[in-house]
Chains A and B, each alone.
Chain A
Amino acid sequence: MPMTISNKNEQRDLFRGALEMMILRSLQREPMHGYALVQHIKQRSNELLQVEEGSLYPALQRMLREGLLKAEWETSATNRRVRTYRITPAGKKHLEREMSSFERMLEGINLVLSPLKS
């Protein structure tokens, strides 16, 4: 479960696991820089997720440190110096693991919740 990862820092925001998954998932489609990543997540969630834009960066740093991502300074299509993030093989594996455990969790929650609904 994403919320129980051992690193102490991670306990500070409960959505981090989810944020990480979203970042990895987005970067799996195509490499992006921070600002684009935020815009992408906002759009894809139909603005349902109110991400505090800045909170992306600590998450990116942690993932860099864990080797899930790589970053490189590049020049963007709009001729802007941007730092582009790419997902690494380790990041892909991590994403798979997280996704499957996330799905199992959802399944479990659904099972518990369903009798009440009926």
Chain B
Amino acid sequence: MKWLQQLFTRRKIFSDLSEEIQQHLDEKTEALMAEGMSREEAVRAAKREFGNVTRMQERGREAWMWPLAESLWADAKFAFRQLYKNLGFALTAILTLALGIGATTAIFSLVNAVLLRPLPFPEQNRLMWLAQQDHSLPGVAPEALSYPDYFDWRAQNRTFSGMASYTGGGVTLESDGETQRLDAQEVSSNFFQVLSAAPMLGRDFRWEDEKPGNRAVMLSYSLWQSHFGSAKDIAGKTIRMDGHSYTVAGVMPKGFQFPMENPGPELWKSIADDAEGKDPATSQRGFDNLEVIGRLKPGITAEQAKSDLSLIAGNLARQYPDNNKQYSSALVEPELQHMTGDTRPALRVLFGAVTLVLLIVCANVSGLLLARGSRRSPEFALRAAIGATPAAILRQLLVESIMLSLCGGVAGVALAYGLVHESVNLMPLDVPRIQDASIDGAVLLFDLGVSLATGLLFGVLPAWRMARSAPAKALREGTRSVMGGRGQNRLQSGLVIAQTAIGLVLLVSSGLLIRSFARIMNVDPGFDPKRVLTARLRVPIDGSRHGQNLQFYQELLARISSLPGVQSTSAGWPAPMSQSSATVSFSIEGRPIAKGDEPSESLGLAMPGYFESMRIPLLAGRTFGPQDGLKGAPVAIVNHAFANKYFPGENPLGKHIQPGIGDDVFEHPLREIVGVIGNIKRKGLTAGEEPQYFLPYAQAMITNPYLVIRSSGDPLLLQSEIRATVHDLDKSVPVYQVVTLEDYISKSTAQPRFQTLLLTGFAAIALVLAAIGLYGLLSYMVVQRTLEIGLRMALGAQRSDVLSMIVRRGVALALIGVGTGLVIAALITRLLSGMLFGIPPTDPVTFAATAVLLLLVGIAASCVPAYRAARMDPMKTLREQ
């Protein structure tokens, strides 16, 4: 802390020095007077021999200073005064910079939240996502694990200190006769231990909690607060869910969440209920529905773990060929990487785009500084003449530009904060952790770094130019010139061309995304999503109550269809784009196939009237009717893609398939195909044609269907009436996931919409900046060439000549920029190809339209300064100059 001490004692040091010097002079004077000089003479002689007193004092003080830091401070103070004096210029530059830096910071905060922030668990880099590889499919094809597989992996591996399973599913929480539907996860007993998280209240799950009869539940902090009133004595109590009793093991601390979904689970229950019953899930090796996360032993790599688990998977495939034949190896990937893998390319593109915006901003401000610099050249000539070295001038100019960029950075943070907060609603919810985007320390640091880098980048060119230009020349050139410095014009033109080119690249990119998004929105989903409300119920299904369950739905649908405003109603599963899905294997009658090799396709369930209510077209045969009930013959309906794939050139009607699924009534019957329907986009509008087959709900009661209610008005208005109708019928049945079909579709397009919106925003900024850049350059040129223009007009040039001279220049610059931009765009838009749907990355329409747009903007930006030039009064101009 020596320097700190120095800072405080400096004043004393300096006064000592002055006093000492004064004493010296006095002593010398006295000595000289003793030799016989007069006082006056002696004082003068003493000073002469001493040298320059002020200079010596200064140099004495300098010994105590940090020369670089203090002169930078002086530069900064000067720069601030300079900017304050030119407030208009400073504000323009700062706003432009704020736009660029703010947008970059905002995107970085997304990148930071989604990709960079570590998982909120200790030693999170040891957490691995695990799955088995499906070798019947090309490439990397992860498959979930079944309980028996998971148990074997957990017991036999040598590379993990722990391995936990989890699988999502809702539960119905019952209390005081009311029911509430909650998102839940069913997890192995070591789940929290693997994540290194401990409950804040109560105990962790225990080994026994996996055994039948030991149903236990861990509450999330938010559920504990909202539903249990933060009761401290909750642990050990019993709660009712899905008609069973569960013991509350404990409460997880605030902020704990896993998996990182939106919305996150509100509770975690032990796997005891999967271990109960006649044929429990925990013993079905073919029931692959577990996600698995493992914690590596210290010092073990993902590769080592992969070969370890693959060995186990290989053994299981040999041991249980019926279920595991194609799953003979394991997939291991760091959890963080796995979780964010899908969003990485999109975020990379956005970050690239925003960097381009920042580059344009730099070019723009650089141009501003150049133009301003030429006005300031007399100032610098003067400073050079009184001894400022080029290095000192360079340093001072760079300090000025860094001050600008730091101000821009501060304003940028504010802008980024606003952007992130305002756009939370626009953000695609299915991007993990995107909702956590915030301006935190890392983002601030990034902002600071970007500001400094930006300041150097846009400042170095003008500063280097100013510092280099010879002082004498600048003095001469200072106020009067017929033609501005050629070199400087070239530089500024170069900057304008660069802005136009980068702007074109951004515009082309956003154009491609817009067109692609329009294509997505024009896709026929195969059903009519307009004015359809969907909802789910939880009606108990078990072997003895099939009839009751079916009766409940029939009665409910009858009541709903008589509600005013309801056009038609039915129920089916899954609702398209709802993320529910099941893929079930089947065999085709007359085509024998080895067990384990059966084809497998997406399965749906439908009640009579479902296809009609959804307006899914029937292509052949019939849809399900009342005859396909509990007592009816087993039937199925397939879609067009299914028929084409399995019965090419044949009539699928009357053929029989045997799906590997059933309920207690219809175990695995052969089912006759009675109808062919149109293809439905089940996963999303951009998904391909997918084979699908449907069974009547009555003949495969494996899960509760979605109610679909087509309304004549706003379907959401029916919400409360639907709830009331269900309540009237049975008040213990919870209604949940009340969502319109259009909402499902819009959620499935949230990511492309978000990307398109952002990139279009960036392109708009780029367009405006490019136009301002061109406008600024031409205006500057007009001012700079006033004398020349005046002379030309005096010599007989027409106003139109002047006008076209300026516009020609603007258009030439725009043309070069557009040309360069087209070449660059053609080279780099293929980076977007993963985000484009139905549009090639070099779509000529987009390229042409963008080029024309940018040229038109260029012409518009040239017209104003050109018009101003043409209106000049030649005589007045010449006199003034």
- CB atoms of A35 and B16 under 8 A apart: no
Complex CA gap A33/B27 in Å reads: 11
Complex CA gap A52/B67 in Å reads: 24
Contact-residue size bin, chain A (C-beta under 8 Å from the other chain): 20 to 34
- CB atoms of A61 and B24 under 8 A apart: no
* 29 A-B pairs (CB sep. < 8 Å): A8-B67, A12-B59, A33-B20, A34-B20, A34-B23, A52-B49, A52-B50, A52-B51, A54-B50, A54-B51, A54-B52, A54-B53, A54-B55, A54-B56, A57-B17, A57-B21, A57-B59, A57-B60, A58-B56, A58-B60, A60-B60, A61-B59, A61-B64, A62-B63, A65-B63, A71-B16, A80-B23, A83-B19, A83-B20
Contacts of A64 in B (CB 8 A): 63
- CB atoms of B51 and A83 under 8 A apart: no
* B28 touches A (CB below 8 Å): yes
* B785 touches A (CB below 8 Å): no
Contacts of B57 in A (CB 8 A): 57
Contacts of A104 in B (CB 8 A): none
* A82 touches B (CB below 8 Å): yes
* A114 touches B (CB below 8 Å): no
Complex CA gap A115/B49 in Å reads: 40
- CB atoms of B51 and A9 under 8 A apart: no
Complex CA gap A53/B51 in Å reads: 7
* A100 touches B (CB below 8 Å): no
* B650 touches A (CB below 8 Å): no
Chain B 248-278, CB-CB to A under 8 Å as 1, else 0, gives 0000000000000000000000000000000
**Given the contacts A9-B62, A81-B23, A53 and B67 also touching, CB distance less than 8 Å:** no
CB closest residue in chain B, given A71: B16
* B61 touches A (CB below 8 Å): yes
Chain A 1-14, CB-CB to B under 8 Å as 1, else 0, gives 00000001100100
Contacts of A54 in B (CB 8 A): 21, 50-53, 55-56
CB closest residue in chain A, given B64: A65
Which residues from 51 to 76 on chain A have a C-beta closer than 8 Å to any C-beta of chain B? Answer: 52-55, 57-58, 60-62, 64-65, 71, 73
CB closest residue in chain A, given B62: A9
Contacts of A9 in B (CB 8 A): 59, 62-63, 67
- CB atoms of A57 and B67 under 8 A apart: no
Which 9 A-B residue pairings sit nearest by Cβ, starting from the closest? Answer: A54-B56, A54-B51, A58-B59, A61-B63, A62-B63, A61-B60, A54-B50, A52-B51, A58-B60
Give residues in A with beta carbon < 8 Å to B. Answer: 8-9, 12, 33-35, 38, 52-55, 57-58, 60-62, 64-65, 71, 73, 80-83
Complex CA gap A107/B52 in Å reads: 36
Contacts of A61 in B (CB 8 A): 13, 17, 59-61, 63-64
- CB atoms of B59 and A53 under 8 A apart: no
B735 to chain A, nearest CB (A): 79
Contacts of B24 in A (CB 8 A): 34-35, 38, 53, 57
**Given the contacts A35-B23, A35-B24, A35-B28, A55 and B56 also touching, CB distance less than 8 Å:** yes
A62 to chain B, nearest CB (A): 4
Which residues from 1 to 50 on chain B have a C-beta closer than 8 Å to any C-beta of chain A? Answer: 13, 16-17, 19-21, 23-24, 27-28, 49-50
Contacts of A55 in B (CB 8 A): 51, 56
**Given the contacts A55-B51, A55-B56, A57-B17, A82 and B63 also touching, CB distance less than 8 Å:** no
Interface residues of chain B: helix, strand, loop or mixed (majority): helix
Contacts of B16 in A (CB 8 A): 71, 73, 83
- CB atoms of A58 and B53 under 8 A apart: no
- CB atoms of A53 and B50 under 8 A apart: yes
A118 to chain B, nearest CB (A): 42
Contacts of A60 in B (CB 8 A): 60
B23 to chain A, nearest CB (A): 6
Complex CA gap A65/B59 in Å reads: 13
B690 to chain A, nearest CB (A): 74
A55 to chain B, nearest CB (A): 6
B33 to chain A, nearest CB (A): 14
Complex CA gap A35/B19 in Å reads: 13
Complex CA gap A72/B106 in Å reads: 59
Complex CA gap A92/B67 in Å reads: 28
CB closest residue in chain B, given A7: B63
Name 14 extra pairs, CB < 8 A, besides A57-B60, A73-B16.
A9-B59, A9-B63, A12-B59, A33-B23, A54-B52, A54-B56, A55-B56, A57-B20, A58-B60, A61-B59, A61-B60, A61-B63, A62-B63, A83-B23
Contacts of B52 in A (CB 8 A): 54
B53 to chain A, nearest CB (A): 7
Contacts of B49 in A (CB 8 A): 52-53
Complex CA gap A33/B19 in Å reads: 13
Complex CA gap A17/B581 in Å reads: 86
Complex CA gap A18/B196 in Å reads: 68
Complex CA gap A54/B60 in Å reads: 10
Of listed A33, A38, A57, A60, residue having the most chain B CB within 10 A: A57
CB closest residue in chain B, given A66: B63
CB closest residue in chain B, given A62: B63
Contacts of A62 in B (CB 8 A): 63
- CB atoms of B23 and A82 under 8 A apart: yes
B16 to chain A, nearest CB (A): 7
Complex CA gap A57/B53 in Å reads: 10
B64 to chain A, nearest CB (A): 6
Chain B 47-82, CB-CB to A under 8 Å as 1, else 0, gives 001111101110111111001000000000000000
A72 to chain B, nearest CB (A): 10
Contacts of A38 in B (CB 8 A): 24
- CB atoms of A53 and B28 under 8 A apart: yes
Contacts of B13 in A (CB 8 A): 61
Contacts of B17 in A (CB 8 A): 57, 61
- CB atoms of B56 and A57 under 8 A apart: yes
Contacts of A12 in B (CB 8 A): 59
A88 to chain B, nearest CB (A): 15
Chain B 645-675, CB-CB to A under 8 Å as 1, else 0, gives 0000000000000000000000000000000
